[in-house]
Structure 1
Amino acid sequence: MAKQDKNIIKESYPVLGMSCAACASSAENIIKQQEGVVDASVNFATGNLSVAYQSSLTSSEKLQQALQSGGYDLLLEEESKQQETLEALHVAKYQQLKSKTIWAILLSLPVVLIGMFFMNIPYANEIMFAFATPVVIWLGRDFFVGAWKQAKHHTSNMDTLVALSTGIAYLFSIFNMIFEDFWMRRGLHAHVYFEAAAVIITFILLGKLLEEKAKGSTSTAIKKLMGLQPKTVTLVQEDKGEVVIPIEQVQIGNRLLVKPGEKIAVDGIVVFGNSYVDESMLSGEPVPVAKSHGEKVFAGTINQKGSFQFEATKVGKETLLAQIIKMVQEAQGSKAPVQKLVDKIASIFVPVVISIAILTFILWTVFGGEHAIVQALLAAVTVLVIACPCALGLATPTAIMVGVGKGAEQGILIKDAESLELANNIDAIILDKTGTITAGRPEVNDIVWAQYNSSQEAILFSIEKQSEHPLAEAVVNYLNQAHVVELSQFESITGKGAQANYNGLSYFVGNKKLLEEREVEISTALETKAKEWLSQSKTVIWFASERTALAVLAISDQIKPTSVQAIDELQKMGVELYMLTGDNEATAQAIAHQTGIRHYKAEVLPQDKATFVKDLQQQGKVVAMVGDGINDSTALATADVSIAMGKGSDIAMDVAKMTIISSDLIKIPQAIRLSKQTVATIKQNLFWAFIYNLIGIPIAAGILYPINGFLLNPMLAGAAMALSSVSVVTNSLRLKWKK
């Protein structure tokens, strides 16, 4: 995933070996310190590094070596293989955690039973030591290795907290077991805390296991999209007939056969046969789309009953499905504005917690009374255990991952987390007319003949068949049963229409100005009909011979079936709507009246649209621009939230931060509701993550002891820490089931 800009390379790679949000901050700092790195960002939830660097000064291999020295790693495989490798690593990590957790529970159980109920049996300390040692040294070794690697880089993370708390408890217990007399001579009981060390590691392993499982669920959207790609295709060759080949071997121009029920492998154009194709996985629209000669088909969509052949036009990374997968991956890996504040907190979180633990130890030692040292040690260990940067680090990105994934499943492509968060605040939406509110496909509504004649219909059909004017296609589609006649001296007249000769006579198709210039006679009946249609904001086209008008046609761009409903929903949400169009005043007024839009402007130039966006922004509004054409691209780039229609121009989709694949306006209120739900989830997650630490750390330090004698058990602190991360991820997953 690399883009070249002179010698600046932008890449995205999976980071391996991260265990908490502080790890992401640590890995990000390591990369930023490397020579030649322009910018770097590590997202804990997605496990991705986005980096821009000067290729003359560094390379991805050097960045990998730098991360490896800090206890992390970079996956430098080809993009096509990355997901499979990550999936395999995820499964392996989950299985390893599962095995460790089961062993930790089995070994910790006797330690807890003895430590809490059978402390006075012979050799109780030695038995607990025997069971706790493999939990701490073997099952918990990754925490100590990670902490040591962090210490070498003068950084700290979750591993540091776990290693310090369990290591201190374990070593203190060994000291008390061997030198029991040291405390007896001072009139104190030599307590051991093997059960605390073992249970803390067990709970943290259990929390990581549940977190790993939950995090796997947040990226199901990507897995579903990737699952749409078939592994093989049927290639049609003139000499060999039908040959099944791997999808990687498909080239542009290949003719491929799609049988009933098969997935379409790459993008292309139908050249033979016809069928209906289920495009719901791309557009979110449940109704299958008819496909015949000349129609476009897209990778990942499913053929229904018929079979057809199509010519490949886009393969590999160029297909619409591949672009969608890439866009979803980048969006899930991007950081919402609120995340930047959370990252700053996470980066100083561990040092602050260690400082609080040291301060707790000192205060207990000074003011703790008879058992000051023991209680000081326990309180410090509990503070280290209960503090959880993971919950903070997961709060925003997990919600963003689920929100972006849910959007993709609904046919709403979101390019980055910032636009998803910002959509929550939209209070003004500017709508382009053609292709956004209307279908963007002019259709003939009616035709009135002075005196119907099938040969005249054939002449009209034949002239429009040769014309390149956009409205000519509408006439051809309307008269598709007519037969073609041979014309001579065809000429396109710019801004007016076209003319051609047939059997020595001239015929004209175009606007009224063309007929007036040729001094063509127009009957009162046709003139009256034309005025009626013009009052309804329809486009009027005339067909005439040299002397008289033969027919008049009404053409209009139909409003999309769901546009009125979408506009009504948006206005009920309190969003102000504005329609901007290059069309005339009468047409704009008619469309605004039919759809219920109160604010509109007609005859607007492309640059005027961007100016209108700025005017609204200066009024303090958060503005969304919705468009589909090249003429909308400047306004899209200017708006706070830019939304492109998927059936529009490529440049509009490149500029826009959101794309509605189906071009259905009803998806916009859905996108705003999704944004509101995602932002609400982020706020809930951050509230619980902050409140957990704000309440948990002081209680762990012993703030309640002078009031009611309560001291938090380190084992309970371990359980609370494990559950805090799981609760944040689980809350994010609730987004999936919201409507």
Structure 2
Amino acid sequence: MLTLVPSAEQQTIKLFVSDMTCASCVRRVEKAIEKVPGVSRAAVNLATEKADVTFAGTADAAAVAAAVRKAGYGVAEDVLEFPVEGMTCASCINRVEKALKAIPGVIDATANLAQERARVRFFKGAVSFEDIAAAIERTGYKAISGATAILAEEDRRAADAGILRRDLVIAALLTAPLFVMEMGAHAFPAFGHFIHETLGMQTSRVIQFVLATLVLAGPGQRFFRKGVPSLLRLAPDMNSLVVIGTLAAWSFSTVATFTPALLPGGAANVYFEAASVIVTLILAGRYLEARAKGRTGEAIRHLAGLRAKSARVLRDGKAEDVPLESVVPGDIVLVRPGERVPVDGEVTEGSSYIDESMISGEPMPVARKPGDSVTGGTVNTTGSLTFRATRVGADTVLSQIIRMVEDAQAAKLPIQALVDRVTQWFVPAVMAVALLTFGIWVTLGPSPALAHALVNAVAVLIIACPCAMGLATPTSIITGTGRAAELGVLFRQGTALQTLEATDIVAVDKTGTLTLGHPTLTEIIPAEGFSRGEVLALVAAAEVHSEHPIAVAIHEAAVREGAELPAAGGFAAISGQGISAIVEGRKVQAGSVGFLDSLGLDPSVFAADADRLAAQGASPLYAAIDGRLAALFAVTDPVKPTTKEAVAALKALGIEVAMITGDNRRTAEAVAAKLGISKVMAEVLPDGKVAAVKALSVDGAKKVAFVGDGINDAPALAAANTGIAIGTGTDVAFESADIVLMSGDMRGVAIGIALSRATMRNIRQNLFWAFGYNVALIPVAAGFLYPAFGMQLSPALAAGAMALSSVFVVSNALRLKRFRLPFHKGDLA
């Protein structure tokens, strides 16, 4: 938390420092901090892992963090996300972000107009929510605390939409007679004559004054509450444009009604209907926009709705229903047929079939028995289960999925940088154009020049409100990532939406990605002097200590055949090549052909069999016992049923598919041929996958996405332009990836690329509409067409066009909800 000490010239910040182990660490950190310019005192506490840093002037948390990290220690970071009330346009986003980034200790901050939320990354301990709320409040907006937001955000949005609807109805009821009286008289001279004969011109104008004043003071006051303070702070926003425009029209009309002598001859016209219609149409646009924006977040609401509300837990030998928040790891949880599994856990009793379609996308329930894991949010279909809770709250798979989707939806894509630069100066520029328009028309316009100048200047102010610009990108991101989550593709990094679109090559690890990842021993060919059973028992005993899939396959085959496995000692694994162990006093070695070469053994006796097996897609493994070639093992890892369709879908999208594998070339090429993959990089050791990815990129000329599932894939996932982890893989792979496929289905890669392209196309359409609309209509509103065609854009029409632009952008983004799969639906329908 940022703490100001009594002296006005000093500031103190607190940071959390990690990796300290002793008093000497403390001193090193203190010395490093004291060297930072402006630091007058540093006190580091090993027990609390906190550093209290006092500055003689303005605090610079970033400089302190850099010094601590340079000294070899870590500085903890934190992220806070919360709703912000009052943001209405792109310029609001810029102001909120600028205010947040100015807080000492804040690393980065983004605001999202579509979600009406802000996300702040800061040095843990250096910033509190109170600091953030105060900074936002100074800009004229309001931050809502996370605790309140979690429970009340949906209610708040619903209440806001209700208030908008009420204000719209009131404004419409007051504006309708005003519009009929003024515009009806222009459209139908007979009706105008009737009004003048019955009410009289002055009475008609007074009635219009009353109605327009009620609209501005009632439903329209929301614009004044936000717009006037923004003007006073010299930071005008969209509300400020509406305030200036409507107030100018109302003020001019009021003078024309009650003191017409103050105006030049022929200029005493009234525009009360313009002021009222502007407010009514903008309220209509905001109401439709609010309803549409509510639909963009349906994916998150759907995921959150999968959570169980309570859990049946054994407490003191009795089963009782408790709130989900009360479940802790180690609790014994009971799930009856038809109930949702409340938290993640491991089955201890019973057996059942679980519908895991929310995770895997597979419609068929899967069997679960003691020892198997269950996931919170899935549905127990048949039998009763008892399981031990292992992960609860924010640690469950479902919570992590929701967090990934939220993180992606809060992201700001590189394409947004252009929007930010433009909108930073957009509103002031519009006000300048409106002022210039007014000056030109007053000076050079036809009589009554003042009336023409007012109409055109107000039209410019209203037509150029930048609401659509602020919504163009975030609404598409929210809808696109939400649709992706529904299809089992989780964007961990929102920026991956843009990088994935440009993918030229998809590089794929074979085992566990293209294949099932559960190899099976299919054949053993013993060498002369060795028996099949003897070799199997010795090699399986040695492979017990290895976690390699081929080792597991050999061990499982030995267990199935009832072989007795003696104890093994002296185990050693040579990464990517083979293993060595001592079994019953005999030296057992097993591995690739390259491993055999390194041992000085000649495997040519098995050459014909090895070629035959490799051609069938099997992986050959050689065994040596006591320094003699003993056997050839054939292990086959079946290709996943959907892999061929996935490869075909990628090729249809114009993507080249490359296989990177540690298998020998014959085996790899046999698998690739079955799948239609033309580029194969075989016999690649784990630490060579990064080099393989870089080679495919041709020095950055091509964009590469790497797909993998194992620990040894993590470096390649990080090195690729886009890393895609298979959801059935390891946590390490997830952390290194930009995208996670929740099921092991490679078709998710095609879904991700196709959806990325659709989302980016949608964003460009929105930006084109938002920018193009302003570029095209500001000159029209300014009156450029009047000299040639006698055309003027009414402020009321300008308000309608402005409101419709925002509705169009949001509605266009919602089309992504109808995104169709780039292949036959199959199991993912």
Tell me the TM-score normalised to structure 2 length. Answer: 0.80
Inter-CA distance 692–539: structure 2 relative to 1 (3 Å threshold): closer
| 454, 463, 469: which one aligns with 1:377 | 454
- Give the superposition deviation at 1:219: 0.8
| CA distance in 1 between partners of 2:613 and 2:449 (Å) | 94
Given that 2:483 and 2:819 are in contact with CA atoms closer than 8 Å, whether structure 1 keeps it comes out as: no
For residue 230 of structure 2, what is the aligned residue in structure 1? 150
Q: Point out where structure 1 has 5 or more consecutive residues left out of the alignment.
A: 451-455, 516-523
Alignment correspondent of 2:26: none
Change (3 A) 1:627 1:14: same
Specify which of 561, 574, 584 is matched with residue 654 of structure 2. Answer: 574
Distance 1:17 1:399 in 2: 21
Provide, for residues 537-570 of structure 1, a one-character-per-residue CA deviation record: whole Å limited to 9, x for no partner. Answer: 5346799999xx9998642111111112212222
1:60 and 2:137 matched: no
**SS of corresponding position for 2:725:** strand
**Paired residue for 1:193?**
271
1:705 and 1:129 map into 2 onto residues whose CA distance is: 29
Distance 1:465 1:260 in 2: 44
Alignment of 1:458-607 (within 5 A): 467-470=544-547, 471=550, 473-474=552-553, 494=572, 532-533=612-613, 536-539=616-619, 554-607=634-687
Aligned twin of 2:313: 235
Look up the SS of the partner of 1:440 in the other structure: coil
Gap change, CA 1:488 and 1:443, over 3 Å in 2: closer
Distance of 1:591 and 1:493 partners within structure 2: 32
Distance in 2, matches of 1:478 and 1:290, equals 23
1:39-438 correspondence to structure 2 within 5 Å: 39-54=108-123, 58-78=127-147, 82-117=149-184, 118=192, 120=196, 121-122=199-200, 123-183=203-263, 186-188=264-266, 190-237=268-315, 239-438=316-515
| Contact kept? 1:461, 1:483, Cα under 8 Å | no
The aligned amino acid for 1:580 is: I
Whole-angstrom distance in 2 between the partners of 1:367 and 1:714 = 20
Q: How many residues align?
A: 716
1:461/1:476 contact within 8 Å kept: no
TM-score by length of 1: 0.89
SS of 1:370 mapped into structure 2: coil
Deviation digits for residues 437-471 of structure 1, max 9, x if unmatched?
A: 11111123367999xxxxx89x9699769934444
CA distance in 1, matches of 2:380, 2:178: 61
Deviations 1:329-386, CA, capped at 9 Å, x for gaps: 1111101111111111112111111111001100100111220001101111111111
The verdict on how the C-alpha distance between 1:646 and 1:14 changes in structure 2, with shifts beyond 3 A counting, is same
Partners of 1:3 and 1:223 in 2: CA distance: 34
Native 8 Å contact 2:463 2:777 kept in 1: yes
Q: Is the 8 A contact 1:461 1:482 kept in 2?
A: no
Gaps of 5+ in 2: 1-14, 18-73, 185-191, 528-532, 573-577, 597-604, 821-829
Tell me which amino acid in the other structure corresponds to 1:225. Answer: L
> What does residue 699 of structure 1 align with?
780
- Given that 1:463 and 1:499 are in contact with CA atoms closer than 8 Å, whether structure 2 keeps it comes out as no
Partner SS, residue 234 of structure 1: strand
Task: Indicate the SS of the match to 1:559.
Answer: coil
CA apart distance, 1:662: 0.5
| Aligned-residue offset at 1:93 | 0.5
8 Å CA contact 2:16–2:75 kept in 1: the answer is no
Kindly provide the amino acid, as one letter, of the partner of residue 670 in structure 2. Answer: A
**Kindly tell me: are residues 342 and 466 of structure 1, through their superposed partners in 2, closer, same or farther at Cα, counting changes over 3 Å?**
closer
CA shift, 1:173, in A, is: 1.4
My pick for the range that moved more, 148-157 or 719-728, is: 148-157
Deviations 1:98-153 (A, max 9, x none): 11111111111111111122552331111112222121012111211211221233
1:519 aligns with none
Cα distance in 2, alignment partners of residues 530 and 38 from structure 1: 57
CA contact (8 A) 1:465 1:476 kept: no
In structure 1, C-alpha distance between the alignment counterparts of 2:446 and 2:619, rounded to whole Å: 93
Q: Is the contact between residue 232 and residue 246 of structure 1 (CA under 8 Å) also seen in structure 2?
A: yes
Alignment partner, residue 86 of structure 2: 17
Contact 1:465 1:473 in 2 (8 A): no
Give identity over the alignment, percent.
39
Q: 2 CA distance for matches of 1:512 and 1:6?
A: 45
AA matched with 1:652: A
Q: Closer, same or farther in 2 for the Cα pair 1:382/1:559, shift >3 Å?
A: same
How far apart in 2 are the matches of 1:230 and 1:556? 41
Distance in structure 2 (CA, Å) of the matches to 1:109 and 1:718: 16
| Aligned equivalent of 1:640 | 721
Q: Distance in 2 between matches of 1:246 and 1:6?
A: 36
Query: Are 2:542 and 2:580, in contact at CA under 8 Å, matched by a contact in 1?
Result: no
Opposite residue 192 of structure 1, the aligned amino acid is V
Deviations for 1:20-71, whole angstroms, at most 9, x for unmatched residues?
1111111112223334433322222222222234567643212201211322
Q: 1:677 to 1:55 in 2, by over 3 A?
A: closer
Deviation at 1:571, TM superposition (A): 2.2
The whole-number CA distance in structure 1 between the counterparts of 2:126 and 2:217 is 41
Contact 1:429 1:624 (8 Å CA) reproduced: yes
Residue by residue over 1:284-320, the C-alpha shift from the partner in whole angstroms, topping out at 9 and shown as x without a partner, is: 3323222222222212112222221222111111111
Task: Report SS of the residue matched to 1:439.
Answer: coil
The offset of 1:480, in angstroms, is 7.1
Residue 573 of structure 1 deviates from its aligned partner by: 2.4
8 A Cα contact 1:69 1:149, kept in partner: no
1:735 and 2:804 correspond: no
Report the CA distance between 1:648 and its aligned residue: 1.2
For 1:528 and 1:276, the matched residues in 2 are separated by: 46
Contact 1:259/1:306 (8 A) holds in 2: yes
- Cα distance in 2, alignment partners of residues 440 and 580 from structure 1: 15
Q: Please say which of residues 55-64 and 470-479 is displaced more in the overlay.
A: 470-479
Q: Take 2:103 and 2:109, find their aligned partners in 1: how far apart are those partners?
A: 10
Residues 489, 339 of structure 1: CA spacing in aligned structure 2 closer, same or farther, 3 A cutoff? Answer: closer
Instruction: Tell me the amino acid that sits aligned with residue 243 of structure 2.
Output: A
Correspondence for 2:747: 666
Amino acid in structure 1 at the alignment position of 2:705: A
Equivalent AA in structure 2 for residue 105 of structure 1: A
| SS of alignment partner, residue 518 of structure 2 | strand
Q: Answer whether contact 2:411 2:493 (CA < 8 A) is retained.
A: yes
Q: Give the partner amino acid of 1:65.
A: A
Pick 1 or 2: higher relative contact order, CA cutoff 8 A, min separation 6. Answer: 1
Shift of 1:247: 0.7
Counterpart code for 1:322: S
Residue aligned with 1:441, SS? coil
Rounded Cα–Cα distance in structure 2 between residues aligned with 1:628 and 1:137: 61
Q: How far apart, CA to CA, are the structure 2 residues paired with 1:270 and 1:661? A: 21
Structure 1 544/406 Cα, relative in aligned 2: closer, same or farther at 3 Å?
Answer: same
Matched residue type, 2:444: F
Residues 462 and 576 (structure 1 numbering): CA distance in 2 closer, same or farther, change over 3 Å? Answer: closer
**Structure 1 residues 311, 368: CA separation in 2 closer, same or farther (over 3 Å shift)?**
same
Distance 2:813 2:382 in 1: 39
Question: Contact between 2:312 and 2:335, CA under 8 Å: does it hold in 1?
Answer: yes
